[in-house]
Structure 1
Amino acid sequence: MATTTSSAAPLSLASVTLEVADPEAALRFYSAFGVDAYVRLRASEAPSTGFRGFTLALTVAGPATVDTFFRAAVDAGATVLKPAAKSFWGYSGVVQAPDGAIWKIATSGKKGSGPAALEVDDVVLLMGVESVKATRQLYADRGLPVAKSFGGKYAEFAPGPLSPVKLALYKRRALAKDLGVPVDGTGSHRIVLGSTTDAFTDLDGFSWEADTSASSPRP
């Protein structure tokens, strides 16, 4: 594992920026999907094919809300990767945005629990990595607090005060399987993470950049 130098301030996830070919079209999609408050958008023509190594997951109250978000995404132009359905863990579906980002919408409940609403309980940026233990330690060494850890399978960090998005780690191959996509992918991850510390790139090529802005996410 590569060594890192300590930052002047603890690492904190302040923003999630999706790099897209057409920011205006992407903003229209994410506004219609109902998640534009959780991501920023940046124009980029960087080549990228296949699985980009991450997903953004929405945790909601119940199956009816999963269906509402799912339909909103599909109606706005998303591709269905996994139809919304019951599973061992609850009820979920997976879609791919026109810009290529993959979104999972899930609830732990399997039965209806009231009227649907476009309300989100949590947004989690789940990054697929080769070694959960090594990447978890790298981030912990930089001051990012670990909230949950399950050996080398999964790790979740405490959310920072500036971001509505939680950061979590999962094995890359297992994440691709869960999303229903091939694990192979080349080129840019097409995502940049904003922090309140210095810029760096982690062990799997995910880029962090200094970001002290707390303004609303817009392209």
Structure 2
Amino acid sequence: MATTTSTAARTSLTSVTLEVADLEAARRFYRAFGVDTCIGLRTCEAPSTGFRGFTLGLTVSNPATVDGFVDAAVDAGATVLKPAAKSLWGYGGVVQAPDGTIWKIATSAKKDTGPDTREIDEVVLLIGVEDVKATKEFYVGRGLSVAKSFGGKYAEFAAGQAGPVKLALYKRRALAKDLGVPADGTGSHRVVLGGTADTFTDPDGFAWEPAAPLAPTPS
């Protein structure tokens, strides 16, 4: 059963920065994909193999918009991990960017009732963790406010006023299965979370650093 808290978050997620090997290529891809205002990019050569332990999710209004984002990603060089299709929860698909980041685009609507708006309703950074309850308590201790919690399976934090991305937790193996990839992976997560507090690393190795709100990726 979902629980909520009214305590104001002292810490919030203000930005998400992807670490990529080829910065210019990544900038071209994310502009073409249409999500360049949602994320930051910087160069990183740290080794990373297999599943990086997270996904970025786009929630949109209808299936046509899901298809529009999937098609734009594929046209720009992404690989389809799961073709867009109806499910128990709605309609969605999963793609992997050339830099290795996995994106899930979904809507709760199963029936297509409108055109492709190319508008994003919500962006969610969903990180895969070994122990949802323990990691949730870690973040509560850092000052984040829980918006939803479903036992040891899933937790979602209240969105901050300064950033465009919501943070949520899911079991790592369950997340990998949902995305259609093996759960094994080593090395860097290749993502840095920008917050309104100090530098720290969570129990699953995800790094946070002080960050200002995102500006659009340079053209």
TM-score (norm 2): 0.94
* Separation in structure 2 between the aligned mates of residue 115 and residue 198 of structure 1, nearest angstrom: 43
Contact 1:49 / 1:185 at 8 angstroms: preserved in 2?
yes
Contact 1:126 / 1:167 at 8 angstroms: preserved in 2?
yes
Contact 2:50 / 2:185 at 8 angstroms: preserved in 1?
yes
Matched, 1:216 2:188: no
Q: How far did 1:10 drift?
A: 2.1
Deviations 1:131-182 (A, max 9, x none): 1100111101111010000010000001111110000000000000000000
Contact 1:61 / 1:113 at 8 angstroms: preserved in 2?
no
Letter matched to residue 78 of structure 2: A
Deviations 1:47-70 (A, max 9, x none): 101100000000000111100000
For 2:136, what is the secondary structure of its paired residue?
helix
TM-score (norm 1): 0.94
Q: How does 1:9-48 map to 2 (within 5 A)?
A: 10-48=10-48
* Separation in structure 1 between the aligned mates of residue 57 and residue 213 of structure 2, nearest angstrom: 22
Identity percentage of aligned residues = 74
- RMSD, aligned α-carbons: 1.1
For 2:189, what is the secondary structure of its paired residue?
coil
Deviations 1:61-90 (A, max 9, x none): 011110000000000000010000111111
* Separation in structure 2 between the aligned mates of residue 197 and residue 116 of structure 1, nearest angstrom: 38
Letter matched to residue 116 of structure 1: D
Unpaired runs of 5+ in structure 2? 1-8
Deviations 1:91-144 (A, max 9, x none): 110000000000000001111121111101100000000011001111011110
Unpaired runs of 5+ in structure 1? 1-8
Task: Provide runs of 4+ in structure 1 moved above 6 Å.
Answer: none
Letter matched to residue 183 of structure 1: A
2:192 corresponding residue in structure 1: 192
Letter matched to residue 213 of structure 2: A
Letter matched to residue 207 of structure 2: S
Letter matched to residue 65 of structure 2: T
Letter matched to residue 73 of structure 1: A
Letter matched to residue 73 of structure 2: A
* Separation in structure 2 between the aligned mates of residue 218 and residue 10 of structure 1, nearest angstrom: 28
Contact 1:41 / 1:217 at 8 angstroms: preserved in 2?
no
Contact 2:14 / 2:214 at 8 angstroms: preserved in 1?
no
Contact 2:92 / 2:105 at 8 angstroms: preserved in 1?
yes
